Amino acid sequence: MLTPTQELTTQWKIEHTELDRFVGQTRLWIKEVCDRGLPRFGELGDKLRVLRARLQNHFELEDALASAIASQSDSVEVEAFRRQGDRDHGQLTARLDDMIERLMAPVAPFESFQAAVDEADLLFDTLEQHEEQEFESVRCLMPRS
């Protein structure tokens, strides 16, 4: 039988995989749009809104997991992990909100659709790096049973 922390970890890993799949599908959609040569600023904004909602749920799950780990350990590493997560989540959310707002503007303030795509790619790369780092931190900080 799994402990509550182990159950949260399992749920978090599943959500992590689903989030990664969604980003991959969005990147594929962007490539297809670029191949057709039809800029779709608003549609990209809509896709990023969906990502934003999924990220919000994912970050809440990560916060719950961090709290569960912290309840089993008072190490400075666990507290540093929680602070870093809070910082990263705030920065990622703010970047995403800003990009969505600009994509949804009546006239998107990007030099070109490719410029918007490049910015989205950087955001996806940053998100993936964050998730990889967090995944490794959780693996290291999980109490051994």
Q: How far apart are CA 113 and CA 45, in angstroms?
A: 12
Q: What is the pLDDT of residues 3-36, one digit of tens each?
A: 888 898 899 999 999 999 999 999 999 999 999 9
Q: How confident is the model at residue 79 (pLDDT cuts 50, 70, 90)?
A: confident
Distance in angstroms (rounded) separating the CA atoms of residues 127 and 113: 21
Q: In terms of C-beta distances under 8 Å and separation of at least 24 residues, what long-range contacts does 84-88 make, across chains too? A: 84/137, 85/59, 85/134, 88/130, 88/134
Predicted confidence at residue 144, as pLDDT, reads: 66
Q: Which of 7-16, 44-53, 56-65, 135-144 has the lowest mean pLDDT?
A: 135-144
pLDDT value of position 140: 84
Query: Residue 139's pLDDT is what?
Result: 84
**Residue 107 has what DSSP assignment?**
S
d(CA 142, CA 7): 12
- Top pLDDT among 123 and 71 is at 123
**Secondary structure element (H or E) that encloses residue 119, with its range:** helix 113-141
The per-residue pLDDT of the chain, averaged, comes to 92
- pLDDT for the residue 108: 86
Nearest to 18 by CA among 70, 65, 61: 61
In which residue are the tokens 């918007």 written? Answer: 116
User: Could you give the C-alpha distances from 114 to 27, 40, 53, 110, 143, in angstroms and in order?
Assistant: 13, 10, 24, 9, 45
The conformation of residue 21, written as its DSSP 8-state character, comes to: H
pTM above 0.95, yes or no: no
pLDDT of residue 57 exceeding 90, the answer is yes
The stretch 49-68 carries a mean pLDDT of: 93
Instruction: Calculate mean pLDDT across residues 126-141.
Output: 90
